[in-house]
């Protein structure tokens, strides 16, 4: 959808594209993209980059509350397999709690 800010507008590297699973070309990516999906992807990108404040700015713009909650669950679920990762999941959950 034209006019939507996407990960491709944020100097997405090839490594980030592969790690975060953005397999499509920019044109394919935006063809059916909804605004909340783009915001969720920007949230993931900035979490990956370690910029939680920027991630939170995009996360709080997601308008669909149920979608927002499912994105947070996915983000938390993606980070923990060990005790350290479980602690990271708790930290992320707490960080984003006020914008749910």
Residues 6 or more apart whose Cβ sits within 8 Å of residue 81: none
So what's the pLDDT on residue 75?
A: 79
- Tens-digit pLDDT profile for residues 27-53: 888 888 999 999 999 999 999 899 999
Query: What are the phi and psi torsion angles at 44 (to 5°)?
Result: -60, -40
For residue 6, give both structure tokens: 């996407």
Q: pLDDT tens string for the chain (100 positions)? A: 457 899 999 999 999 998 888 878 888 888 889 999 999 999 999 998 999 999 999 999 999 999 998 888 887 765 556 677 777 777 888 888 888 7
For residue 2, give both structure tokens: 């034209």
Burial of 17 (0-12, 13-18, 19+ CB in 10 A): middle
Of 76, 68, 10, the residue nearest 35 (C-alpha): 68
DSSP secondary structure of 21-50: T--S-HHHHHHS--HHHHHHHHHHHHHHTT
């Amino acid at each position: 959808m034209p006019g939507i800010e996407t990960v491709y507008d944020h100097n997405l590297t090839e490594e980030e594209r592969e790690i975060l699973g953005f397999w499509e070309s920019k044109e394919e990516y935006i063809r059916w993209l909804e605004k909340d999906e783009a915001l969720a992807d920007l949230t993931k990108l900035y979490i990956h980059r370690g910029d939680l404040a920027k991630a939170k700015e995009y996360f709080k713009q997601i308008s669909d509350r149920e979608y927002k909650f499912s994105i947070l669950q996915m983000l938390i679920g993606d980070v923990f397999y060990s005790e350290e990762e479980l602690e990271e999941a708790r930290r992320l959950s707490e960080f984003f709690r006020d914008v749910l």
